[in-house]
Amino acid sequence: MNPDLSDVRKPLAFGFEGYLLKQVPFAAGIAALGLVLFLWVDRDRESILASYVLLAAGLGFIAYAYYRRSHPGRPVIELTPSGVRYRMASLKDVLIPWREVQDVGAVEISGIDWLRSGAGRFRDATALVVSKRFYTANIDVGSWVRRGRSWNSLFVTKGDAIQIVLHPELLSVSPGDLRLAVESRWRAFSNHPNAQRPSVPWSPRALGLFGWMPSRALKIAGLAGLAVLALPALYFWQWPLAWKSLSLSPGSRSAYLDGLLDGRGIPARLMDGRMAILGRDDVLGAAVPDCEREIVRDAERASFTPAYIPSATCTAFLTYKSGAPAIGIFKLVVVDTSFEDYSGQRHPSRALVTEPLVLREAEALLCARGYCAAGGRAETADR
């Protein structure tokens, strides 16, 4: 036990810094979610913006928590021989003299977890019992707007008195140590009759992360469940990378179509059912609404874990030069390539390129997507 807790004449101060550090794993999870969103989700504007927001929020909070650790702010609670200096509500800086404290106890209440913005149950919190007269004259701000949504978890009505709750979770101190520090000073410096009563033996309950302590069997079952989820993720780690390599924004889909129209052309089914290769001069307008991804096993590149070959088949809505609609199709595949750096050294890489399609192959792909010619397989013709 810390001897400062029972030394009633030594001032004690408690701040939020330790609580902020305890939230770093949650902030790291938010940043990791942003990174996953950035790496593995389609690179559209909304996904990129969301990933930036999550990364900035998570990393920003971590930086702030460690900054507050090295540059502590004003203490939230100070215990002195004259009383309790209370700054928890951020709207008041009030001294609660020990003579105004009628009792000290432990409470369990439902309230707001400020940083996680949700309801929580706070157990074994130390409470100072004061009169409503003292509360109204020195603490109450009178406006529910200024009180905020956390006020009721800090000040709890108990008959004709008010319980001022000191949350050990927020002050980075154990419930037992906080109770000992407060009660020992209240008994030493208060002249209230209740302070002369014998102390009631009390020990806080052992609690886990979510307000309960799992048994050994539940802990083992939880670890086994995490292993069951983690092993497939580790074994198939290349699959999400293959999926991510096919992230195509509307702009990139249009760029591949423009490259085909300006180059070798795109296979398309005309209004009369014929298949033709259309170039830039044959098309008045074009759009690529979506691409269908396909990922297959790559036996040649597989090692301890399977490798994959990603591809995408894109359907293009075209306006033929006659004004009639046409349906085009093209396929994108990932190929091994290399690039040269500033020093002239070449490095292996992978690139997404368009794969040449003959008319019969393009016709089969269109038919598989519901764009078959009426009356059976269509006649094919070059433009």
Tokens 């397989």 found at: 377
Between CA 360 and CA 227 the distance in angstroms is: 48
Which 3 state secondary structure label does DSSP give 367? helix
Q: Residue 4 has what pLDDT?
A: 64
Query: Of 208, 111, 224, 247, which is closest to residue 167 (Cα–Cα)?
Result: 111
This prediction's pTM: 0.48
pLDDT at 380 over 50: no
Residues 333-359: tens digit of each pLDDT:
888 788 777 777 887 777 888 999 999
Q: Residue 201 has what pLDDT?
A: 58
Report the range out of 220-229, 261-270, 305-314, 373-382 with the highest average pLDDT. Answer: 261-270
Burial environment of residue 267 by CB neighbours within 10 A (0 to 12, 13 to 18, 19 or more): buried
Residues 144-155: tens digit of each pLDDT:
777 777 777 788
Beta-strand runs (E) in 270-324: 275-278, 283-298, 307-320
Between CA 222 and CA 230 the distance in angstroms is: 12
Residue 44 pLDDT grade (very low, low, confident, very high; cuts 50, 70, 90): low
Residues 169-215: tens digit of each pLDDT:
778 788 888 888 888 888 888 888 887 776 665 555 544 444 445 56
Quick one: what percent of the chain has pLDDT higher than 90? 24
Residues 112-136: tens digit of each pLDDT:
444 444 445 566 788 899 999 999 8
pLDDT at 381 over 50: no
In DSSP terms, 45 is beta-bridged to: none
User: Greater confidence, 90 or 382?
Assistant: 90
In DSSP terms, 101 is beta-bridged to: none
Burial environment of residue 314 by CB neighbours within 10 A (0 to 12, 13 to 18, 19 or more): buried
